[in-house]
Amino acid sequence: MSKVAIIGGGIIGVATAYELAKLGEEVILFEKNYFGSGSTFRCATGIRAQFTDEANIRLMKYSVERWERLEEELGFDINFKQTGYLFLATNEEEVEAFKNNIKLQNKFGVPTRLIDMDEAKEIVPILNTEPFLAGAWNPKDGKANPFKTLFAYLFRAREMGVDAREYTEVVGLEHEGDTVTAVKFRNGGKIESVKVDAVINAANAWAPSINAMAGLRRDIVPIKPYKHQLVKTEPLEPGQAEPLVCPPSWNDSYIIQDGEDGGIICGSGIEHEPKHPWDYEPTYDFLVGVLRYAVRIAPPLKHAHVVRQWAGFYAKTPDKNPAIGKLLDNFYIAAGFSGHGFMMAPAVAEALADLVSKGHTKVPLDWDWYDPYRFERGELRSSAFQIG
Ligand SMILES: Cc1cc2nc3c(=O)[nH]c(=O)nc-3n(C[C@H](O)[C@H](O)[C@H](O)COP(=O)(O)OP(=O)(O)OC[C@H]3O[C@@H](n4cnc5c(N)ncnc54)[C@H](O)[C@@H]3O)c2cc1C
């Protein structure tokens, strides 16, 4: 048994702690704020296997299979629902692109199909079908509650002995050559240190500063935070817009009915680099912009009251694919998840825990695709479709 430190108590860090504990490892998990306070509790709840490249499709197909069993495995209600994702095409070129994506997804067992607007209207009763030619529909995509999911993983991880500490910031790493030997952290007013055998950087938007602590260049994995906002309406009757509905050519704008209370979550690709790393301030421009799109997708929304608006970070790499793998002898990273870290967490956590503990995994995660050193080599992947 070795002692593994995980830095970052979002869904990736917490789920990886759980998976490592299952493998019998001793785990200490550090979160500088409260668990989930980074991107995780700000996400739009969406889970999809509708990607446009083999690596992400295969990873997400596996992840969706884990999501299907997660409630039973963790023993908690996490409100996972397979209510689908519906992408909408506004022109013939997009319809052709959808057909190609569907062919690729079907090849790897994801049951997406092209549907007409009559069927789309049956699935989303408040949909404005007029601007759209066709939809890419996968009924196995879905959504889950990020709060319940993180706390379910955390509860089970602690039960298996994980030392999970919140309000405990990691401030440094001690290393000898390519081996990290200890983690320094703030405990109240004091700086303490703990010897470890391996360290996982799961700090997402903050990951570059953790890499620097390990003696690496900050930009070895060039992750930048982008402020991404959401708006939520008052609860509507369930069944109005259960799938995530997105016309990608409308600035990646989307709506999805919250599986918990029936409010409609409205998102969009309108985003900004934050003015400073803790810039979580919602903006009026976004509110107006996102609602213009939302009402075009589903006109009855013009009668719904907005009850919340919030912001979080998409932690983006240049190709919008995460960096997952080994950076030094015993120093690993899983960060830079853009708009898809919540949905990927069950698969990524299992694969990463296997890598750290056993050196191999059955999870179909293409290590080469997500290699954290690909940016250094100038080998960008095709850009992952980034919305939730
Ligand atoms: C508005 C919005 C909508 C989204 N919608 C979706 C969606 O529908 N589906 C989806 O899959 N994804 C979505 N995402 C993306 C998703 O939220 C993230 O990819 C995911 O939560 C990343 O999880 P994480 O654990 O890697 O990072 P985080 O949740 O950001 O956790 C990283 C943690 O590291 C901690 N940390 C940083 N530095 C230190 C330190 N020195 N010491 C200790 N702790 C530290 C931070 O406090 C933070 O809590 C969305 C994101 C946003 C912002």
Element (H, E) at 207: helix 207-213
pLDDT at 388 over 70: no
Shared domain check, 322 and 215: yes
Ligand 1 in contact with 313 (CB < 6 A)? yes
Task: Say whether both 297 and 154 belong to one domain.
Answer: no
Atom of ligand 1 nearest to the CA of 45: 8
CB neighbour list of residue 109: distance below 8 Å, 6 or more residues apart: 61
Choose one of 316, 333, 349: the last residue of a domain: 316
Same domain, 95 and 195: no
Distance CA 144, CA 222 (A): 29
Pocket test for ligand 1, best of 342, 370, 386 (most atoms within 8 A of CB): 342
Measured from the Cα of 344, ligand 1's closest atom is: 11
Mark whether 56 and 145 lie in a shared domain: yes
Query: CA–CA separation, 285 vs 130, rounded Å?
Result: 27
Q: Report whether pLDDT(145) > 80.
A: yes
Are residues 155 and 78 part of one domain? yes
CATH code at 254? Answer: 3.30.9.10
Among residues 82, 156, 121, which one has the least CA distance to residue 349? 156
Alpha helices by DSSP H, listed for 47-163, are 54-74, 92-107, 117-123, 146-159
Over residues 38-81, the pLDDT tens digits come to 999 999 999 999 999 999 999 999 999 999 999 999 999 999 99
Statement to judge: residues 105 and 11 lie in one domain: no
Token pair in block for residue 387: 């919305």
Ordered DSSP codes for 238-305: TTSS-SEEE-TTTTT-EEEE-TTT-EEEEEEEEEE--SSTT-----HHHHHHHHHHHHHH-GGGGGSP
pLDDT band at 36 (very low <50, low <70, confident <90, very high): very high
Query: In terms of domains, do 8 and 31 share one?
Result: yes
78 & 92 share domain: no
0.75 exceeded by pTM = yes
Which of 302, 267, 340, 311 lies closest to 11, judged by CA? Answer: 340
Exposed, middle or buried, 224 (CB in 10 Å: 0-12/13-18/19+)? middle
User: Please, which residues have CB within 8 angstroms of residue 176's CB and are 6 or more apart in sequence?
Assistant: none
Q: What's the one-letter identity of residue 175?
A: H
Q: pLDDT band at 386, cuts 50/70/90?
A: low
Q: In this structure, what CATH number is given to the domain that contains residue 342?
A: 3.50.50.60
Cα 246 to Cα 342: distance, rounded to the nearest angstrom: 18
**Structural domain count, the chain:** 2
Q: Which amino acid makes up residue 33? A: N
308 is in which domain, residue-wise? 85-137+224-316
Q: How far apart are CA 276 and CA 206, in angstroms?
A: 12
Same domain, 203 and 229: no
Q: Is 200 in the pocket of ligand 1 (CB under 6 A)?
A: no
- Residue 104 CA to ligand 1 centre (angstroms): 29
Tell whether 213 and 159 lie within a shared domain: yes
Q: Look at residue 385 in the predicted model and tell me its pLDDT.
A: 67
Looking at 282, 297, 316, the residue that finishes a domain is: 316
Residue matched to tokens 């960008």: 380
From the CA of 20, how far away is ligand 1's center (Å)? 20
Q: How far apart are CA 337 and CA 314, in angstroms?
A: 7
Residue 318 scores a pLDDT above 90: yes
- Residue among 231, 229, 222, 218 at smallest CA distance from 272: 229
Same domain for 343 and 253: no
Give the position, in ligand 1's atom list, of the atom nearest the Cα of 34: 49
Instruction: Supply the mean pLDDT for the chain.
Output: 96
Cα(235) to ligand 1 centroid in Å equals 26
Handedness of CA 240, 246, 250, 252 (dihedral sign): positive
Q: Do 215 and 92 share a domain, yes or no?
A: no
Identify the weakest region by mean pLDDT among 137-146, 236-245, 269-278: 269-278
Using CA positions, which residue lies closest to atom 52 of ligand 1?
A: 43
Where b means 16+ CB within 10 Å and e means fewer, 288-299 reads: ebbbebbbbbbe
Determine the Cα–Cα distance for residues 136 and 373; give it in Å rounded to an integer.
34
Minimal-distance CA residue to ligand 1 atom 21: 40
| C-alpha–C-alpha distance, residues 274 and 224, integer Å | 10
- Residue in 342, 324, 320, 132 with CA at minimum distance from that of residue 230: 342
Q: Which helix (H) or strand (E) holds 18?
A: helix 11-22
- Beta-bridged to residue 190, according to DSSP, are 187
Q: Are 311 and 282 in contact (CB under 8 A)?
A: yes
Domain stops at, among 254, 284, 316: 316
Torsion of CA 140, 144, 149, 150, to 10 degrees: 110
| Location of structure tokens 């912001």 | 311
Whether ligand 1 lies within 6 angstroms of the CB of 142 is answered as no
Predicted confidence (pLDDT) per residue in 268-310, tens digit: 987 776 677 678 899 999 999 999 999 999 999 999 999 999 9
Residue 271 CB less than 6 A away from ligand 1: no
* Ligand 1 centre distance from Cα of residue 37 (Å): 8
| Ligand 1: residue whose CA is nearest its atom 18 | 341
